[in-house]
Amino acid sequence: MASIDIKDVRKAYGSVKILHGVDLTIQDGEFVVLVGPSGCGKSTLLRMIAGLEDISAGEIKIGGKRVNELDPKDRDIAMVFQSYALYPHMTVAGNMSYSLRLRKTAKEKIASAISGAAEKLSLTPLMERRPKALSGGQRQRVAMGRAIVRSPKAFLFDEPLSNLDARLREHMRGEIKKLHQDLGATSIYVTHDQIEAMTLADRIVAMNAGIVQQVGSPLDLYDRPANLFVAGFMGSPAMNMFEGTYRATDGAPRVELGQGVTVALAGPASTADGARVTLGIRPEHVVVGKNEPESIPAQIDLVEPTGFGTILHANAFGSDVKAFSLERGLAARGDTVSVSFPVERIHLFDTTTGSRIG
Amino acid sequence: MTEAVNAAPYGRDRRPFLRRLASASEPYLYSAPALILIVTVMLVPLVIGISYAFRDITLLDPFSGGFIGLDHFRALAKDKTFWQALKNTVYWTGYSVALQFCLGLILALLLDKPFRGRGLAQALCFLPWAVPSFLSGLNWAMLFNPIVGPIPHWLFGLGLMDAPDNLLSSPDHAMWGPIIANVWWGIPFFAITLLAALQSIPRDLYEAAAIDGATPFQRFRSITLPFLAPTIAITVMLRTVWIANFADLIVVMTNGGPADRTQIVASYIFTTAFRRLDFGYASAIAMVLLALLLVYSMLIVLLRQTLLRER
Ligand SMILES: Nc1ncnc2c1ncn2[C@@H]1O[C@H](COP(=O)(O)OP(=O)(O)O)[C@@H](O)[C@H]1O
Ligand SMILES: [Mg+2]
């Protein structure tokens, strides 16, 4: 186990810049999730840590030792691929023991290592099968087994659950979390799925277009997104965003949303009067139906029951306002209701720069 | 076809006889043109050819043509030239296939790595395949000829030859002339097929192996080779059968000489049939070659099946 230091790491393919300077320190034993939309450079960063891609600029240290020039095999890391990349001509046992055999580990040691891993992942009855004869979930577990037999300094996961169906994905998510709690190994996990990121991570690194947008605990990112990207990316259904004008005259900071609707803010924002701002509020924080002084009249366009709760789409001040409620039968299509945004739940962003201002 | 399906399987078919006949013969009518073509161009000549082996057919002898049973095969068993040719065939085929395969594999591995100008390199490497075998035989014969070709002088210069003589007239080494020409000509076949197989291997397997600590050679052994094995089996089989039957280069470059030292079975068949005009005997030799190659192919097919089951 070891810490990982990433210092101003950049990647370019020819003239195309993919990563624009990533700085990140991962503590020993920490589970860090890199999350972001497809093509933002997560895999590239992970593969650079693994040694599968050259580092165009910057420095990566594993356990305090610079690894830029080291081959993958000398970095003592293990990686789980999205496609699992199991060796099709070897049995499960062969796949799991391959790295140990290459290292000329003693036979008894190999046997105990793979039987231990097989036990942890309930692979024991499958050890003599070939990958072809396994289901997706079993293959996934073999890929994990192959990674853990070596007790490497760090685990790297590149969207390991993307090829599984929803049920199995949920199950394996739990398994991975348990495994990490068991082994306590430093792990970097790449995913585009914000639920995976939220549930697994000690710390989330949100990335977009080759730039780290925010680093923090899952609830940090959820409760105080640093910019519009993170606010929109984390959470499902996604956060409501309304553009408006910031007003701070007469000591009452507020946002004008158009059609005469004004929303009061808890405190002054770090911007000037009259600035273009974006007001964000999560659907589960929108209050529907209570006639409070601040409430806004709205008409229900669409009702989406999820079983777990209900998503209401309401039309207010010319915008679509989503509200999520655990209550059923709160409103029906065509109803006129009132919605309100509790001040302590409001996020405020600068529309042009996208950064959080209150 | 829908007619045939509609024909009621239960009870008596009440359609008129001609309609029933038409729908019953429909599938045969559709496949007839292809079947007739295959039978006339493949099966008929094959059967006639095989029948020659049991008849006395000499083109210049007007009284020949009679059925003589296994006489040709008895003569063949005592024919020294035939046994020599059989040995030469093994030698010629073995070295040609082995060298073509090894060099073709190396070429495929080189072309599989990305580098600048790879497209051009690929096109150039595959060029020999497009040269007619006859032409390449003539070319190589010229290259080996000390009067017009450079190779004897190079070999002499390197000390590999005592004098700049024609390799093709050396009784001990003449076979290497056609083998070298054949290798040059046949490398692209292996390079193309193996390159296609190489490119179908998922890249992340190599990456996983690199992380697991495999050296390039270990990666080749535990990933590339098992993936290539079925392709190797089938291409080696095809090439072996093809080369064992492939007399063009030998006929053009040495014509079996000196003193039958480069005579292979295929060129012996050619000489017997078209020089001595003894079609019956030539056909008997051809049947023996066919039987040997069939046995060989069966073995390779079995090997390939086991390899594929391993996946
Ligand atoms: N070998 C390559 N050559 C050029 N561009 C590449 C290469 N590999 C990846 N890219 C580009 O880098 C970007 C990031 O890719 P990747 O790291 O795989 O994204 P993701 O976040 O989905 O894992 C993508 O836009 C992709 O097109
Ligand atoms: Mg990716």
Tell me the residue range of the domain where B41 lies.
Answer: 2-6+17-52
What is the SS3 assignment for B174? coil
Residues B205 and B251 in one domain: yes
Domain assignment present for B73: no
Separation between Cα atoms, residue A295 and residue A261, nearest integer Å: 9
At A72-121, the pLDDT tens digits run 988 889 999 999 999 998 999 999 999 999 888 889 999 998 898 888 88
Tokens 């008409």 label which residue? A299
Domain assignment present for B277: yes
Separation between Cα atoms, residue B64 and residue B87, nearest integer Å: 31
Residues B39 and B105 in one domain: no
Separation between Cα atoms, residue B254 and residue B250, nearest integer Å: 5
- CA atoms within 13 Å, Cβ hemisphere of A132: 7
Mutation pick for ligand 1 pocket among A9, A17, A43, A212 (CB with most ligand atoms within 8 Å)? A43
φ, ψ at A176 (rounded to 5°): -65, -40
Residues B139 and B286 in one domain: yes
Q: What pLDDT sits at residue B2?
A: 47
At B229-272, the pLDDT tens digits run 888 988 888 898 889 888 888 888 888 778 888 888 888 888 88
Q: Which residue of A has its CA nearest to B223?
A: A87
A171, containing H or E segment: helix A166-183
A311, containing H or E segment: strand A310-316
Number of compact structural domains in chain B = 2
CB A59 within 8 A of CB A8: yes
Domain assignment present for B12: no
Which positions ≥6 away from B227 have C-beta within 8 Å? Answer: A88, A89, B197, B198, B200, B201
Residues B82 and B185 in one domain: yes
Domain assignment present for B62: no
For ion ligand 2, residues whose CB falls within 5 Å = A 43
A88 touches chain B (CB under 8 A): yes
Tokens 């974006």 label which residue? A278
The CATH number of whichever domain residue B127 belongs to comes to: 1.10.3720.10
Residues B95 and B32 in one domain: no
Residues B91 and B135 in one domain: yes
Residues B176 and B290 in one domain: yes
Question: Within 10 A of A22 (CB to CB), how many other CB atoms are there?
Answer: 23
Q: Which two tokens mark B299? A: 């073995």
Q: What pLDDT sits at residue B10?
A: 56
CB contact under 8 A, B222 and A83: no
| Kind of pairing between the strands at A31-35 and A203-208 | parallel
Of A204, A220, A202, A200, the closest CA to residue A212 belongs to A204
Domain assignment present for B65: no
Q: What pLDDT sits at residue B34?
A: 92
Residues B94 and B237 in one domain: yes
Question: Within 10 A of A219 (CB to CB), how many other CB atoms are there?
Answer: 10
Pinpoint the alpha helices (H) of chain B: 2-6, 17-38, 44-52, 71-77, 80-112, 118-125, 133-144, 151-157, 176-199, 203-212, 216-219, 225-244, 248-253, 265-270, 279-310
Tokens 């507020």 label which residue? A254
Separation between Cα atoms, residue A34 and residue A278, nearest integer Å: 26
Measured between CB atoms, which of B204, B213, B310 is closest to A81? B204
Q: How confident is the prediction along chain A (358 residues), in pLDDT tens digits per residue?
A: 788 999 999 999 988 999 998 999 999 989 999 999 999 999 999 999 999 999 989 899 998 889 888 889 888 899 999 999 999 989 999 999 999 998 888 899 999 988 988 888 888 898 989 998 898 889 999 998 999 898 888 999 999 998 888 888 888 899 899 888 888 889 999 999 989 999 999 999 999 999 999 999 999 999 999 999 999 999 889 999 999 999 888 778 888 888 888 888 888 888 888 889 999 999 999 988 766 667 888 889 999 998 889 999 999 888 899 999 998 888 888 888 889 888 889 999 999 898 998 8
How many CB pairs below 8 Å do chains A and B form together? 63
Please state the pTM of the whole predicted model.
Answer: 0.80
A143, containing H or E segment: helix A136-148
Q: Give chain B's residues under pLDDT 70.
A: 1-13, 310-311
End-to-end, the C-alpha distance of chain A in Å comes to 39
Measured between CB atoms, which of A87, A103, A130 is closest to B213? A103
- CA atoms within 13 Å, Cβ hemisphere of B72: 25
Pocket lining: A210 vs ligand 1, CB cutoff 6 Å: no
Q: What pLDDT sits at residue A79?
A: 92
What is the SS3 assignment for B72? helix
CB A240 within 8 A of CB A321: yes
The DSSP-derived string for A71-84 is -GGGTTEEEE-TT-
Q: What is the DSSP letter of A346?
A: -
> How many residues does the structure list for chain A?
358
- Distance between B227 CA and the closest CA of chain A, angstroms: 8
Which positions ≥6 away from A153 have C-beta within 8 Å? Answer: A1, A2, A62, A63, A75, A76, A77, A185, A186
Distance between alpha carbon A289 and the CA centroid of its chain, in Å? 33
Separation between Cα atoms, residue A35 and residue A233, nearest integer Å: 9
Residues B115 and B240 in one domain: yes
Q: B50: exposed, middle or buried (C-beta count within 10 Å: 0-12, 13-18, 19+)?
A: middle
- Distance between A82 CA and the closest CA of chain B, angstroms: 10
Q: Which two tokens mark A128? A: 């003599």
- Distance between B191 CA and the closest CA of chain A, angstroms: 24
| Kind of pairing between the strands at A154-158 and A4-13 | unpaired
Separation between Cα atoms, residue A104 and residue B89, nearest integer Å: 45
Of A188, A31, A168, A163, the closest CA to residue A85 belongs to A163
Of B232, B247, B265, the closest CA to residue B90 belongs to B265
Domain assignment present for B198: yes
Q: Which two tokens mark A150? A: 């070596």
Separation between Cα atoms, residue B211 and residue B225, nearest integer Å: 19
A192 touches chain B (CB under 8 A): no
Q: Measured between beta carbons, which residues in chain A are less than 8 angstroms from residue B222?
A: 87, 89-90, 98
Minimal-distance CA residue to ligand 1 atom 5: A13
CB contact under 8 A, A83 and B202: yes
Q: What pLDDT sits at residue B1?
A: 43
A319, containing H or E segment: strand A319-325
User: B258: cis peptide before it, omega within 30°?
Assistant: yes
Q: Measured between beta carbons, which residues in chain A are less than 8 angstroms from residue B200?
A: none
Residues B191 and B290 in one domain: yes
Q: Which two tokens mark B275? A: 């020089």
Residues B150 and B263 in one domain: yes
Domain assignment present for B209: yes
Domain assignment present for B69: no
| Dihedral angle computed from the Cα positions of residues B157, B158, B159 and B162, in that order, rounded to the nearest 10 degrees | -50
Residues B210 and B90 in one domain: yes
Q: CA-CA distances (angstroms) from residue B291 to B268, B284, B285?
A: 16, 11, 10
CB A356 within 8 A of CB A224: yes
CB contact under 8 A, B208 and A103: no
CB contact under 8 A, B207 and A88: no
Q: Which two tokens mark A312? A: 């209401």
